[in-house]
Structure 1
């Protein structure tokens, strides 16, 4: 995944990609890290320092000129459809669904569905009560022996029954 799906990941830039548990990441999904940016507050956006030699000596450090958007954080149980692009510094909440071919440029709330370019809110997956119960339960943190017992709840489509069982 690291080679093809995480682009422009230079540790010296300082941002990280943090992915939660039980995420489904479809083929072609890419996470763009902050060092992919270019400076926009000068006449040219070109990263002249990459040419090395005299070119690099005559310009400020390239990475220091880039906007720093912070870590990209993916919650637990997030599903990414095929060929999604996640931009730097975005936070995607637990249980979210990102539609195929979406470009995520802004934070996504837990248990919501987004899609498009740029990705826009489509709908909540569940009502507020169930979302709050799931966020409090944090089933993804259960030890394996308890998680296996919770599987019938996690796969139950009778959401009123799920609320009772949680």
Structure 2
């Protein structure tokens, strides 16, 4: 019985890997040695570029929306070399999201450059799912950043090279290079200095 269970697990793993590889084929540019695990989902692959040695964990969604309802957008998602994205992350763009080289992203992270509507008084009577998608600006994550578990990075944010975003932080404004930020909203906890 254990042998059969082991064979079933192995076959399931191979099938899920193949499905994930099919998802990668949707991407306009995929670097060498990119690796994904089960249930990676890609939307708008023609607007997504992924660098060398990328890793995407289970349950990740990478979405470049060029249309929603009757509105058109020009999304761009660029993921650098050696970026590691852990499980159940959601990256969604209607504008632009750039992730630099050597970035580590923990599980359950949301990175978005848009929201459902602009939260104006005029939209209060419209259900969020029926509102036009709205972007306050692109998201840029610099090189060698570490985005910890359960982080939310909101539209219009630039995170400087070498910074760490602590677990469960909500990033609503720019983060300088070489700092640790945390909290809701995220604020600088300490500066990282070279030894």
Q: Is the 8 A contact 1:96 1:109 kept in 2?
A: yes
Deviations along 1:2-46, whole A, 9 cap, x unmatched? 665568742343411100000010111111231444441416252
1:25 equivalent to 2:109? Answer: no
Q: How does 1:1-166 map to 2 (within 5 A)?
A: 9-11=64-66, 12-14=72-74, 15-42=95-122, 44=124, 46-47=126-127, 50=130, 62-63=132-133, 66=134, 68-126=135-193, 159=195
CA distance in 1, matches of 2:119, 2:112: 16
Provide TM-score, normalisation by structure 2. 0.51
Q: Tell me how many residue pairs correspond in the alignment.
A: 115
Call closer, same or farther: CA 1:43–1:31 in 2, change over 3 Å.
Answer: closer
Query: Alignment partner of 1:114: what SS?
Result: strand
Query: Alignment partner of 1:42: what SS?
Result: helix
CA distance in 1, matches of 2:127, 2:170: 24
Structure-2 residue corresponding to 1:145:
none
Gaps of 5+ in 2: 1-39, 43-58, 67-71, 75-94
State the shift of 1:47 in Å. Answer: 4.2
Give the structure with higher Rg (CA).
1
CA distance in 2, matches of 1:92, 1:2: 25
Query: Alignment partner of 2:122: what SS?
Result: coil
